[in-house]
Amino acid sequence: MNLTSSSFENDFEDSIMEQSFFFAPHDDNNIYHVQYKEILVTEVSETNLVQLNTKNRYVFYHQQTDSKKSYKVTCEIVSHQSIVRFLNKSIHNIEFKQNDQSREYLNFTHEKRSNLELHLKNFLFDNLTHKTPSNLKKINKKPQKSLL
């Protein structure tokens, strides 16, 4: 089967509605689990944002200027302890008992939110605008293990 670039992009356009990935801005020590979902402009509401944002979750809307598509972007801070547990389990097949007293305090400050939003908007603009078959992958429909 021979796929042309345009047919691949059309398939991708039809299939992508929601995507998630991990993101680490270069000037931030945190790692974030990011989900973005294409939405209708009528779904954008500042009231919804206030209800969706929590201490470790930040939600904002992003509009691609070239395509006029709008996205709801949800970001959650991934704890370093979660990453260590995941690596130990995945690589060494070891699970340690978690001490509840050693829980990390994860909180989005105003500065973290602003910085993350700025970097993510640039990242999304670059990756949603410059579509080539080599950097596009269809969404894997299998459930993902969560680090959170």
**Domains of the chain: which residue ranges?**
5-135
Of 1 and 107, the one with more pLDDT: 107
Share of the chain above pLDDT 70, in %: 64
Residue 94's pLDDT is what? 93
Residue 102 has pLDDT above 80, yes or no: no
What's the rounded mean pLDDT across residues 33-45?
79
Residue 130's pLDDT is what? 54
CB 38 within 8 A of CB 17: yes
Which of 21, 18, 137 lies closest to 76 in space, CA to CA?
21
Q: Look at 58-62, 89-93, 103-107 and tell me which has the smallest mean pLDDT.
A: 103-107
What's the rounded mean pLDDT across residues 40-53?
65
CB 9 within 8 A of CB 133: yes
Mean pLDDT of the chain: 75
Distance CA 33, CA 57 (A): 10
Burial (Cβ within 10 Å: 0-12, 13-18, ≥19) of residue 78: buried
Torsion sign, CA atoms 31, 75, 60, 19: positive
Whole-number Cα distances in Å, 79 to 33, 76, 144 = 10, 9, 17
Q: Are strands 57-63 and 70-78 parallel, antiparallel or unpaired?
A: antiparallel
What's the rounded mean pLDDT across residues 100-112?
77
Binned at pLDDT 50, 70 and 90, residue 120 comes out as very high
Residue 79 has pLDDT above 80, yes or no: yes
Distance CA 61, CA 129 (A): 17
Residue 97 has pLDDT above 90, yes or no: no
